[in-house]
Amino acid sequence: MKRRIGILTSGGDCPGLNATIRGVAKACYERFGEDNIEIVGISNGYYGLINNLCKDMSPSSFSGILTQGGTIFGTKRQPFKMMQVIGDDNVDKVKNMKETYKKQKLDCLLTLGGNGTHKTSKLLSDEGLNVIGLPKTIDNDIYGTDVTFGFHTAVDIATEAIDRLHTTAASHSRILLCEIMGNKAGWLTLNSGIAGGADIILIPEIPYDIDKVCDAVMHRSASGKAFSIIAVAEGCFDVNEAKMKKKERAAKRAEAGITTATNRIAAQIQANTGIESRVCVPGHMLRGGAPSAYDRVLATQFGVHAAWLIAQEKYGRTVAKIGNKITSNKLSEIAGKTKFVDTENHLVITAKDIGVSFGD
């Protein structure tokens, strides 16, 4: 029985996408035989599925990509909230995606992506397509899996960025704030902050009190430590903003002329403590480059499990790692849910037990 499998990568890129694609392809060729499997690469995520931007791949297409960053298929953000909205272009996106699936004679569609990608995956599954998701995000915020591919590599990169701030902060007796990606969940900032020896860690799940942040800085100064390192999740907010809705918070910040929480925190610390404060933003460097050894192994495991799900014709699911086991969850049970850092999480407690302040 010949199977025809479509693969797309959607949303932001991250290390491990190509490793996962390779894992799926090699496992499918091995399991079904090269003559019994056809793999279709879909360019630029759901945009490519909407516009039938598809290409038949060969086994050689997947050679040499294990260590390669980015995605060989390209990616593009296609917001879920607009998927069922027909815009000025008069394109029925859901209808087009279903038509592409049929035109390409696909038996299954594999979608590599984060929360938004998984919501659209569930939508297509509900529409009758055979869909399998693979959890990708440097934020590690997909519900139902302990870890996503790309996360560990991003932690390594963010940790190195924080590491490099220590010497310059000490040399100049400054407060250096490192802004880490993570708009809704603080997993990346929490892990890299602990690994990088940050003195203060600020994440969205724990609204901070700027006075307590300044107190932590002054406590270090009084003990003879003339510098501090602060790891800041880009989506963090203070205790007053925690009472506001997202749009209200954004409006308040725009009115103040400060676009990010990190810049505001730096300005407040410098004004309140008199210690020079600077901001460093690694930004998209956290997404770039080759995946770590951990992510190469994880991506390969995820790809192999996806091939097993195809063989078992278990669709409407997304691959996951729970404990030491590679398994899967129903899309209906995880789509639309976000995995947040619990304030009683063992990593939060660990950090507090070594004197790290969360500004709470």
Q: Is the Cβ–Cβ distance between 231 and 198 less than 8 Å?
A: yes
Closest CA to 95 of 87, 106, 83, 105: 83
DSSP at 285: G
The answer to whether the Cα torsion of 288, 291, 295, 301 is positive or negative is: positive
Integer Cα distance of 292 and 150 in angstroms: 8
Integer Cα distance of 309 and 330 in angstroms: 12
Residue in the block written with tokens 């003879």: 224
Q: Which residues are catalytic?
A: 139
Integer Cα distance of 232 and 221 in angstroms: 20
261-273 helix and 246-256 helix, angle to the nearest 10 degrees: 50
Closest CA to 321 of 160, 136, 119: 136
User: What is the DSSP track for 130-148?
Assistant: -EEEEEB-TT--BTT-S--
